[in-house]
Amino acid sequence: MGVQTHKTFCRFCHANCAMEVDVEGGKVIEVRGDPDDPAYGGYTCVKGRELPDSHNSDNRLHHSLVRNDAGEFVETPMPEALAHVASELRRIIDTHGPHSVAVFMGSGGFQNSAAMAASLSFAQAVGSRNFYTSVTLDQPAKVFTTARYGKWMAGPNTFSESDVALFIGNNPIVSHYAPVGGVPPFSPSRRIRDQKAKGLKLIVADPRESDVARLADIYLPVKPGEDPAMLAGMLNVIISEGLYDRNFVAAHVDGFDDLAEAVKAFPPEVAAERAGLDRDQLVAAARMFATGSKGCATTGTGPEMAGNGTLTEYLVTCLNTICARFKQEGEKAAIPGVFSPYQTARRAQVAPPVPMFGAEGMPKSRFRGLGHLGWEMPCNVLADEILTPGDGQVRALISVGGNPVVGFPDQAKMVRALDDLEMFVQIDPWMSASARRADVVLAPSQCLEREDITNLSEWWHEEPYARYVEPVVAPPGDVIDEYEMFWTLAHHLGITMQLMGGPLPMDRKPTKEEFLDLAVAGSLMKPSDVRRDCQANGGAAVIYPEVHPRVEALDEGEFHRFDLAAGAMPAEIGKYADNPASREGFDFRLISRRSKTRFNSIGHPLKKLQNKTTTNPAYIHPDDIAALGLEEGGLVAITSPHATIHGVVKASDKVRRGLVSMAHAYGDADATKKDVREKGSSTNRLVSEVVDYDPITGQSLQSAIPVKLESA
């Protein structure tokens, strides 16, 4: 039949870029950006363009694997493998109770539009409190704690209308992720340049001069972990100079006076010294942000991973709130969210409070006073929940789309925990570091072999853009969709999975369309209707301007205000001011960075990406390399208070002195100095989840790690 071309979208990362896929003889042979797509305009990244390798790789698993009594993996038909898992889960639940089963969904799981709903509903049907996702590994504060200060129902200013933007530790040119109000991850470099041509003023704060920092009007090379000093200093300037929106604060904000008093501890000269910045640049940045008419301050994962995550996100919330960076009555709502459930009126007011943690009845962990954030337990406690005997001890773990061996803090401890489980199930297309330690490896279909909707990427679509795509090739061997795996396990266990729209049928396997319609019930458009419209549009995306909500007037009968003094805030500013971070003998800080050829732990098995990046180099300023007697291309020993790893030295004058910058989520558990050039090292090995963690979210210190460097 020759080459057939299909329209679809990429599911390598959260951006979901529109693609054209060439198929010949039932195999994917090439992918490229779809030039006709109204949102993406032909954009793809180097990772997404390797989907053919991902689907066709010789290393890919086509069959599930089950360990036999001799400890060897045996290829096993999927129905038999799932029946075995269900039997073991039934034994474990009957022996230890429902909380003995845990489910972890990593970044890869989010790329399947059904996997989040399927894995969560399965854990809830089992009756387990132990549901975990990668959100609590890198950015729980922005997801779960900012809502306690108030949430504007109409949403924030969008990037396309902004005349000022502040990016804090966010490099969207490489990391295709930003909170709402930041640059959408669709051709982000072009979007930033286009917006700057319209007059956008861009401020970037980052310990290293990142790709996006080179486009900034003001670049603030903030010390890692000292973002609160910089933000408090900016708030000090804005408040003392009266640059905030007085009318908005008077109408909608409580706790402003407490905030104003707290940031007095950080006048510009004090803030600049602690943050390692030029005083005048900090003041200029504060004035530039406050005097813009529209725009947002947004953060990446780095500032949260560097300690003080909740305080940092609180101060960012304060910046946006007192400068009134929100959609107003009569405007289009910020992000329509075609597939988002929980649809409520978009009004020009603060939403009713929704407790996201610590409320009566919310499940608690057995460790460190931590508990559920929204619907999930923080990853910080999983290793201890597995290793510590007692009521509620986790004895079985199902991991979907994640790689706990390289993704969790304290790699050695997590490995001990995985090895201690009675049943470890890894859903994985590869023999990853985690799969090699599993009792059962279930082989899933990949993105171009299944139906999906754009419910993940729609958090950045400023217009009501939606897609429902079909499989473009048949899955090889004996692989199935992750939602089918969880449904089958639930069917064997005799439990019922509940979704937003009600229970799944458990007497027959639902179709993907049925599952998605139930999963996002109450959304602006049903997936089944979008499917019909996309089919009529040749498989391309559809924009639904008629469903885009307009911002309604304030409802006096349901009036709420921002509360900038909620919880322990802003007293935490004073505690931070009185306790500068220091660690004697560890004079360097290791900061995390993103790799253009990886998405967290995803991408390592792909040959072309391997050829581009074989390791995660240790980027160090040339003057530090000379002072330490290191050599470009040589090895450096990086030691924290907890462990030592090795890195390949790479000089970079974009990294300020006193830092070493490395990508995280590298390195197998057995990676050593001998194979660091081929495998890389896990920076997570350097940290402990019981030391230096956020007391609310459990977020472990995974950037700004105190280290010392020595030649290896």
Kindly state the average pLDDT of the residues 368-375: 96
pLDDT tens per residue, range 67-117: 999 999 999 999 999 999 999 999 999 999 999 999 999 988 889 999 999
Are residues 124 and 147 both part of a single domain? no
Distance from C-alpha of 600 to C-alpha of 433, rounded to nearest angstrom: 14
Same structural domain, 369 and 431: yes
Q: For the chain, how many structural domains are there in total?
A: 4
Domain edge (last residue) among 12, 29, 56: 56
Per-residue pLDDT reduced to its tens digit, 35-50: 999 999 999 988 888 8
Range of the domain at 650: 582-711
pLDDT of residue 598: 56
CATH number at residue 50: 3.30.200.210
In the chain, what percentage of residues exceed pLDDT 70? Answer: 97
Query: Which DSSP state fits 475?
Result: P
Same domain, 47 and 78: no
> Which residue, of 547, 573, 599, is where some domain finishes?
573
Whether residues 79 and 32 fall in one domain: no
| 247 and 380 both lie in a single domain | no
In a domain, 453, yes or no: no
For 117, half-sphere exposure in the C-beta direction (CA atoms, 13 angstrom radius) is: 26
Residue 287's CATH number: 3.40.228.10
Query: Is residue 350 one of the residues assigned to a domain?
Result: no
Asked whether residue 273 falls in the same domain as residue 195, the answer is yes
> pLDDT tens digit string along 138-176?
889 988 988 899 999 999 999 999 999 999 998 888 777
DSSP string over 90-143: HHHHHHH-GGGEEEEE-HHHHTSTTHHHHHHHHHHHHT-S-EEETHHHH-HIII
Residues 118 and 253 in one domain: no
| Domain shared by 158 and 238, yes or no | yes
Tell me the CATH number at 589.
2.40.40.20
Q: Is residue 109 located within the same domain as residue 155?
A: no
pLDDT at 147 (0 to 100): 87
Q: Quote the pLDDT of residue 625.
A: 97
Distance CA 159, CA 193 (A): 12
Tell me the mean pLDDT in the region 491-503: 98
Domain boundary among 548, 573, 598: 573
* Cis status of the peptide bond prior to 706, with omega within 30 of 0: no
Cα–Cα distance for residue pair 315/229, rounded to 1 Å: 10
Sequence-separated (6 or more) residues with CB below 8 Å from residue 455: 113, 339, 340, 520
Check whether residue 158 and residue 282 sit in a common domain.
yes
Residues 587 and 702 both lie in one domain? yes
Residue 558 lies in a domain: no
pLDDT of residue 187: 86
User: Are both 157 and 301 inside the same structural domain?
Assistant: yes
pLDDT of residue 454: 96
In a domain? residue 222: yes
Q: Is residue 398 assigned to a domain?
A: yes
Domain presence at residue 451: no
pTM of the predicted model as reported, rounded to 2 decimal places: 0.95
Q: At residue 600, does pLDDT exceed 70?
A: no
| Domain membership flag for residue 244 | yes
**Residue 541 placed within a domain:** no
- Over 90: is that where the pLDDT of 675 sits? no
